[in-house]
Amino acid sequence: MEYRRLGASGLLVPALGFGAGTFGGRGALFSAWGDTDAAQARRLIDISLEAGVTLFDTADVYSDGASEEVLGAAIKGRREQVLLSTKSALPTGPGPHEAGSGRARLIRAVDASLRRLGTDYLDLFQLHAFDAGTPLAETLTALDDLVRAGKIRYLGVSNFAGWELMKTLATAEALGLEKPVAHQVYYSLVGRDYEWELLPLGADQGVGSIIWSPLGWGRLTGKVRRGQPLPAGSRLHETAQAGPPVDDERLYDVVEVLDRIAAETGRSVPQISLNWLLTRPTVATVLIGARNEEQLRQNLGAVDWQLEPEHLAALDAASATTPPYPYYPYHRLPDFARLNPPAIRTAA
C-alpha cells in the first residue's frame, strides 16, 4: 500500500481508506447502505489492515452514532494500528445544541465520538459542514483547544465551498490557530466538480483531499449500463435521490470506456475508477466502502498498478464537462491558460 502525506502535514495516510458508513444500519438512508455489525466489521478491518489500509472514517450522523460504536468495538485492542477519522456539525437531533460548530456543540460532539469509538484521541476530526451562523474564530479556537488538550491530532473539513474553506484557512492563519489539512469531498469519474475550484485551492494552500463516494454513489460498480434496468440489489433504488446527481447519458459514455479498458487490462470497472482518482492532484486517500468481504477485496485491487497514459486520456475525455464561469476561459483559450501553471490548471 502506498502512503501519502495528508496536505501540508506530517500525517501519512494510505492511498485507500475505509469508509464506515455501512456500519450500524440505523435509519432509512444508512440501512440502505449496509448494516454491518461489530463481528462483521472486525473481519473487514482484519482484511483492510492486512492490505495496509489503516485509515477508517466515520461521522456522528452515520446511523445515529452506531457507525462509531461498531467501529470502536471492531478496533478494540488495536487502537495504535489504525488512524481514526470522524466528523461533526450536521444535525444529530432537534435540539438547539445538536447542530453546528459552536464551542459547546463541538466539545460535546468530540467527547461523544471519543466515547462511542472507545478512544481518548482522534487522528483526524473534520467539520462536516460550514456553519455560517457561528463566528469562525469561535469554531477554530474551540478546535485548537481540543488539539492542545490531546483529543484531536489533525483538523479537516468536509463539503466546504471554496470561499468557506479559504475563509477558514485565512482566519486560522490570522489568529495563529490550527488549520485544516484535509478536505473530504465528493469526486468521481461522473462527478468532477471538485476540479474547478476546490482542487486548485487545495494545491495552492496545502490541503489534501479525502474522497468520498469514489464510485459515483454506486453507479460505477460495473452493474449499471445503457439499456439495462438497475440490478435488483442496487442501493440506488432507495438512495439515488440523496446522492450526487449524474446525467445518465454521460454515465453510460464513461461506463463504456471503462468496459473497454477493463477488457484490455483485466481489471474491473470499480478498480479502474478508483485507480483513475489516485492519479489526480491533491488526492491523499480514496475511501472505499464495503458491505462484505467480496466487495472489499475487489476494491483493494485498485492499487499497486497503473493505468496507461492512453487509458487515462480516454477516461478524461469521456468524463469531461464544460466548466462553469469563470473557469471555462482558462480551459478553452490558450492566452488565458498561460496564466495558470499545469499543476494548478487541472481539469480536462
62 in active site: yes
Query: Which 8-state DSSP code applies to residue 51?
Result: T
Run of H or E including 217: none
Q: How far apart are alpha carbons 292 and 86 in whole angstroms? A: 22
3 state DSSP class of 249: helix
Residue 273 neighbours by CB under 8 Å, 6+ apart: 188, 189, 214, 215, 216, 220, 258, 302
Residues in the chain: 348
**Tens-level pLDDT at each residue, the chain (348 residues):** 999 999 999 999 999 999 999 999 888 778 777 889 999 999 999 999 999 999 999 999 999 999 999 999 999 999 999 999 999 999 999 988 899 999 999 999 999 999 999 999 999 999 999 999 999 999 999 999 999 999 999 999 999 999 999 999 999 999 999 999 999 999 999 999 999 999 999 999 999 999 999 999 788 998 878 877 766 666 654 555 667 888 889 999 999 999 999 999 999 999 999 999 999 999 999 999 888 999 999 999 999 999 999 999 999 999 998 888 888 776 766 666 566 654 445 544
What count of other Cβ atoms lies within 10 Å of the Cβ of residue 96?
9
Q: In Å, how far are 10, 118, 222, 283, 321 from 276, measured between CA atoms? A: 25, 35, 15, 11, 17
b (16+ CB within 10 A) / e for 115-147: ebbbbebbbbbbbbbbbeebebeebbbbbbbbb
Residue 19's nearest CA partner among 75, 65, 86, 82 is 86
What's the predicted TM-score (pTM) here? 0.92
Q: Which three cell numbers stand for residue 238?
A: 432507495
Please state whether 75 falls in left (phi above 0), alpha (psi between -120 and 50) or beta.
alpha
Strand (E) positions, 191-330?
208-212, 283-288
Q: Which of 62, 187, 327, 330 is catalytic?
A: 62
Is the bond into 245 cis (omega within 30 degrees of 0)? no
Per-residue pLDDT, 255? 96
Q: Which three cell numbers stand for residue 173?
A: 492563519
Per-residue pLDDT, 196? 92
Q: How far apart are alpha carbons 186 and 166 in whole angstroms? A: 18
